[in-house]
Chains A and B, each alone.
Chain A
Amino acid sequence: MKTNQLAIIYAPFSYFSKMGEVYWDETDLYQDMIQFYLPLLNYLETEEIPPCIMAISPLLLELWDRSDFQQRFSLYLQKENKEDSLRVFLRWNHNLLNGLRHFYEQEKIECIPTTASHCVLPFLSTRKGKEIQIRYGIHLFEACFREKPRGFWIEEGFVTEEIEEILHGEGIQYTFLNRKFLLEDDVMESTPYFSSRNMFIIPYAEEIEKKVSGEMKTLSAVLTTSMETASIPEKLCFLLKKGKCESINFQLPKQFLIEYLHSSSTLRTKAAMNRKFGEQWLNQFNHEIYTIVYEMEDTLWKCMDFAPDALFLQMMKTWFIVSSKEWVQFLAKDMEKKEYVLNCLNMHVKHFKSLYRMVEEGLVLDEKTTDCSIFSYLSMEHLKTLRGTFSSEPLYLDNQEKSKLNILMLSWEFPPLVVGGLSRHVFDLSRTLTKQGHQVFVITTFVEGLPAYEKIQGVHVCRVLSLQPHHSDFFAWVNSLNAAMVHESLRLYKHIPFHLVHAHDWLVGSAARVIQTQLNIPLICTIHATEHGRNNGIHNSLQESVHEKEKRLIHDAQAVIVCSEYMKKELIDLFYVQPDKISVFPNGIEPGMFLSQCRSNNITKKYRLSSDDRLIFSVGRVVYEKGFHILIEAADIIRKEKANVRFIVAGKGPLLHEYRALVKEKKLDEYIQFIGYITDDERNQLFHLSEIVVFPSLYEPFGIVALEGMVVGKPTIVTNTGGLQTIVEDGVSGIKVRPDDAFHLAEKILILLQDKEYAGRLGENGKKRVETMFGWDHIATKTTKLFEDNVVTFQEKGGE
């Protein structure tokens, strides 16, 4: 009984190492042509050879098809008087591809492609790289044979599950698996099988020597031979004919597959890998070669979406050359040649570097740049398809908006992540700038459950996840976030030509300074508060570090924004900043944000407020500088005068538990409540329900919460400190009290509680003042003017 077998001839392109030299000498290729390919075609035409598969390198197909190569080879044959070869060469009209096509159509052979540059596919570092290597082989095959290949030859038969998936996705039906790849004691037999990834896997053994000596029967269902091992076609033909006589039925894959399908339904999963096989290709002697392949691979995908076509193609061709397995093979044969190999590779790496530098500098390829003489099928069209498939850029980046300024804003918090006034400030400023025709990208912290990108009221919000988002060290956490912000900014900049970077406070200062130098754009920073001000001095190393970071940010910024004259003075005193470098733009307010949606009786119920309770409300982060301990003292004084007064303080912070304990200690539970975090809507309700709003801050660079109290028309009491001093006109649009003076605060609260008419007048006046003086449109216009002036100055100076 005859056994069915496949015979496969592997025809690689083995001249990559030669391409490391200044001039590529094609003589070795000519020798292979004369000794192998021309006689093979001749035998196929003249002898009765059983059908076989030819796994052929895309590079050979490309060269054979090129007229310049045909000319050179023809001249060589004439010069060397190789008349027989010349005759065969002329028979196929100078193009061996014509011969292959002819025998392919005649079904004497079935051609299948290999990868672009014969790399060890599992050792490329990305799936994208593997896919591109495979796709190039298929693409070129289609161009040469005008149909899709049915099979694919993976170098060394190193077929992993991932590679099976890729091949299946490309419509490939079968491939060959090297049995060496499997564990020796694995139960896997030599019989072909269908893998769990829907690929017909044909195992083979590399035991050519035995075959050549006539031991074919002992082998697997595949007879493999390659140009490297089956020295000449004569032997090959002999082998095939001999096999045929010895009851072997050589088939083309399509018959083989059909017959196999009827006889077997074997489905197998991946077998364990033979450790020696992997080590043979990646070990301590050759790992350096892979390192450069990975670096190139990463660089390619990094610039794939924005590099000019011609440059990118050149880079990819260079990567193809460097990723060839031939370099590793070369070292395996002769370690003494290591220096030669590294020399050649370094030449390619330098070329790749110079191309990448051109991409980064926005240059285009000029005629002087030497083009890689191979991989010519890697065309603009091909690249377009690759980009379409592999682009990792979000779609929003394709929308070229006609904006006035492209603003990159950095803020660690952004709604709905709201800890303090910073988040609200950045949100209001960014959306108003967007409304005025600018394009604003805010880079902020990733929050679980929120999208990494979204557009909120026209503002592009990018939330970045750092490598260590919960670092135990506070500064390491800040730094990790800054690093993520820098990487995101550089990625965005490839698509959005930012005019400036606007950093909000020291927490994003490191990122802003690096972005400023990397993108060569002006840096504007807003300093919302200082570490010195918050702590009434610098007392420990943490505060020193924050202070230092503030100093560097302020120093490197082209312009500094603060929210009050008080803050301006503070910066001048602390950091010796030139006064004209600082602009004072107050915080703004959006009156519509303070309309309440929920029913007030829910709130009164929740906080046990009775109808005759007179509510005094305050809100803010529960930190020392907000002065809530003064409010506790004032409550203690007032309760002796008025029984139905209730104080509610909303907000969370490090001192929340301490203040709650203090209230308990003073037995003030009935009078003052620290209710912790509340929603915006609950805050609005409490503003509306309150009779008086109080902000007893000890340090307040601006005091946006005071505006919030005023905008709802409530009489507002603030301390005469920081930015609060300029918000309120004492006795006209609110009341100012001495900071850190509970008696003074209690006295003024009592006056307002007693004189309702006066209180009402203050509330009305306060509301009017906020609406006219602190609208975001007005502030954003002033901010824009500052941005524009700085962009122009920066450009005039040619960057700094």
Chain B
Amino acid sequence: MIIEHLDVDVCKMLCVNDSTLSVHWNISALTKQLFEECFLCEWKEEALCLIVYDITNVIFNGHNSNKWKQYSLQSKKNHTFLTLPANKTYVADIAVLLSTSYYTILRSNTIHLSGNRSIETDIKSQSLSDWQLNRPTSPEWSPLFSTYSCYTKNVR
């Protein structure tokens, strides 16, 4: 038996214990429609991924996390548990993978995972290959953009 869901956008992160976060999401028909209208392509559950950002001591704007990690998601899934280092602040995105980046459709609440203060676990001690160091840069298209569009070099 499958539980009924409401047609609402939800992305909730809760602290289960000092090293586990529970993330639940639900994507509304509106958000799917909006994605299709914007990207001019069909909505595909398979393209979804979950991004976790370490935003400790950061006022997060979507791009300035300390580190981030991408998890692929199984189709039809709308919940996961994440085991993460304690004493860090986290936020999660449900995103659609694009060819070279990802597009966020939902963002969770922020959670500070406070653990036993005597056991200071750092992300560095975990596998570095999983976590991406964030290096915020200005978008490449920015200098080419003016009011209505991007002016690419081959215009003339």
Contact = CB atoms under 8 A, between A and B. Distances in A.
Interface of A: 122-123, 125, 183, 270, 272-279, 282-284, 287-292, 294-296, 298-299, 302, 338-339, 342-343, 345-346, 349-350, 352-353, 356, 413, 419-422, 465-480, 482-483, 486, 490, 505-507, 510, 513-514, 518, 528-529, 531, 534-536, 539-540, 542-543, 545-546, 548-549, 621-624, 653-655
Contacts of B126: none
Contacts of B2: 342
Interface string B117-132: 1000000000000000
A277 B15 CA distance: 12
9 contacts: A273-B18, A275-B16, A291-B5, A292-B3, A295-B5, A295-B8, A467-B105, A475-B38, A653-B151
Given A273-B18, A483-B34, A535 B155 contact: yes
A545 B4 contact: no
B156 A624 contact: yes
Contact of B63 (A352, A470, A542): A470
A282 B16 contact: yes
A278 B3 contact: no
B10 to A, nearest CB: 5
Given A350-B4, A548-B40, 6 more contacts: A125-B109, A275-B18, A279-B20, A296-B6, A299-B6, A474-B145
A471 B154 CA distance: 23
B152 interface: yes
Contacts of A478: 38
Contact of A510 (B9, B37, B93, B140): B37
Contacts of A474: 139, 141, 145, 150
Contacts of B104: 467-468, 480
A282 B140 contact: no
B134 to A, nearest CB: 12
Contacts of A539: 154-155
Contacts of B57: none
Interface in B88-130: 93, 98, 100-101, 103-105, 107, 109, 114-117
B24 A290 contact: yes
B149 A531 contact: yes
Contact of B37 (A277, A514, A624): A514
A349 B3 CA distance: 9
A479 to B, nearest CB: 4
Contacts of A342: 1-3
B72 interface: no
Contacts of B8: 295, 298-299, 302
B19 interface: yes
Contacts of B139: 470-474, 477
B22 A624 contact: no
B33 to A, nearest CB: 6
B13 to A, nearest CB: 9
A298 B10 contact: yes
B17 A287 contact: no
B63 A292 contact: no
A653 B148 CA distance: 12
Contact of B24 (A294, A353, A483): A294
Nearest to A483: B34
Contacts of A274: 17
Minimum-distance CB pairs A-B, first 3? A420-B147, A275-B17, A479-B38
A278 B115 CA distance: 13
B78 interface: yes
B70 interface: no
Contacts of A534: 148-149, 151, 155
A540 B152 contact: yes
Contacts of B4: 292, 345-346, 349-350, 353
Given A291-B3, A469-B62, A472-B139, A272 B117 contact: yes
A123 B17 CA distance: 11
A309 B45 CA distance: 37
Contact of A468 (B17, B63, B115, B154): B63
B34 A422 contact: no
A655 B143 CA distance: 9
B138 to A, nearest CB: 7
A163 to B, nearest CB: 13
Contact of A420 (B39, B137, B148): B148
B73 interface: no
A174 B20 CA distance: 29
Contact of B1 (A343, A467, A536): A343
A505 to B, nearest CB: 6
Nearest to B116: A272
A738 B143 CA distance: 30
A468 B12 contact: no
A717 to B, nearest CB: 23
Contacts of B35: 479
B133 interface: no
B84 interface: no
Among the interface residues A270, A469, A486, A624, which one has the most CB atoms of the partner chain B within 10 A?
A486
A125 B100 contact: no
A531 B146 CA distance: 12
A352 B4 CA distance: 11
A51 to B, nearest CB: 37
B148 A422 contact: yes
A603 B38 CA distance: 45
B3 A288 contact: yes
B147 A471 contact: no
A455 to B, nearest CB: 25
A482 B38 contact: yes
Contacts of B30: 486, 490, 514, 518
A476 B79 contact: no
B47 interface: no
B26 interface: yes
Given A296-B6, A467-B107, A514-B33, A279 B17 contact: yes
B155 A470 contact: no
Contact of B98 (A283, A476, A621, A623): A476
A415 B148 CA distance: 16
Given A467-B107, A474-B150, A479-B39, A278 B12 contact: no
A302 to B, nearest CB: 7
Given A349-B3, A474-B139, A125 B34 contact: no
Contacts of B145: 474, 654
A472 B39 contact: no
A371 B67 CA distance: 50
Contacts of B151: 534, 623-624, 653-655
B71 interface: no
Nearest to A478: B38
A300 to B, nearest CB: 10
Contact of A288 (B6, B79, B115): B79
Contact of B101 (A413, A471, A482): A471
Contacts of A122: 14-15
A767 B116 CA distance: 75
A164 B135 CA distance: 39
A727 to B, nearest CB: 20
A563 to B, nearest CB: 13
Contacts of A288: 3, 79
Contact of B103 (A282, A470, A480): A480
Contacts of B5: 291-292, 295, 349
A730 to B, nearest CB: 28
A135 B104 CA distance: 36
Contacts of A413: 147
Contacts of B149: 531, 534, 542-543, 546
Nearest to B151: A654
Nearest to A485: B34
B144 to A, nearest CB: 5
A479 B156 CA distance: 27
Contacts of B39: 475, 479
Contacts of A420: 146-148
B144 A654 contact: yes
A192 B141 CA distance: 61
Contacts of B22: 282, 287, 290
